[in-house]
């Protein structure tokens, strides 16, 4: 699990209740704004670092997770980020749609192996048995003919 995944999953850690200290809130806003500036300048890695630091200060800011969503590189991190947005704001239709799209894409790239119905598996096994039996009988007849020809 990547560092950001661990950080994002720490949303429920004890003692992370909303911080009311003005200095901490100001630090969060500064990091968030600096991250926006870096993002707009195309410095995605720097924006990611700043927003990750802001998440350690106040992980209950929906705008932070929405911003982080734009700089995350892995599908797993995006999934966890969207889950955190939904944990903070269960009514976020966009986060719900994006998460469903990620899950559909994951299901499409890793399709589950289908199993045939019992009757179809039985029929295939029966046909395979007939083919193997026919092949074995043909080999036996061929060997018998060869041996009969050698003995005569």
Q: Which residues contact 51 (CB under 8 A, 6 or more apart)?
A: 31, 32, 35, 64, 67, 68, 71
What average pLDDT does the chain have?
Answer: 82
**pLDDT given at position 10:** 52
**pLDDT given at position 16:** 43
What does the pLDDT look like over 10-38, one tens digit per residue?
544 434 444 445 666 778 899 999 999 99
- Residues 81-87 have a mean pLDDT of 92
89, two tokens: 């704001």
Q: Which residues contact 25 (CB under 8 A, 6 or more apart)?
A: 19, 58
- Confidence band for 107, pLDDT divided at 50, 70 and 90: confident
49 touches 26 (CB < 8 A): no
Q: Where are the domains of the chain?
A: 3-109, 116-152
Domain 3-109 - what CATH class?
mainly alpha
What does the pLDDT look like over 31-77, one tens digit per residue?
999 999 999 999 999 999 999 999 998 889 999 999 999 999 888 99
Dihedral pair phi/psi, residue 8, rounded to 5°: -65, -40
DSSP category for residue 74: S
Q: How far is it between the farthest Cα atoms of the chain?
A: 108
């Amino acid at each position: 699990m990547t560092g950001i995944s661990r950080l994002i999953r720490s949303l429920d850690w004890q003692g992370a209740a909303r911080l009311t200290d003005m200095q901490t809130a100001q630090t969060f806003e500064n990091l968030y704004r600096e991250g926006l500036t870096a993002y707009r300048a195309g410095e995605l890695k720097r924006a990611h670092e700043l927003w990750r630091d802001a998440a350690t200060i106040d992980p209950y800011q929906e705008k932070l997770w929405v911003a982080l969503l734009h700089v995350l590189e892995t599908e797993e991190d995006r999934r966890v980020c969207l889950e955190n947005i939904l944990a903070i704001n269960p009514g976020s239709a966009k986060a719900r749609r994006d998460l469903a799209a990620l899950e559909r894409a994951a299901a499409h790239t890793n399709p589950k192996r289908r199993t045939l119905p019992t009757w179809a598996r039985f029929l295939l096994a029966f046909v395979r048995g007939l083919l193997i039996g026919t092949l074995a009988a043909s080999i036996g007849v061929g060997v018998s003919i060869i041996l009969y020809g050698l003995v005569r």
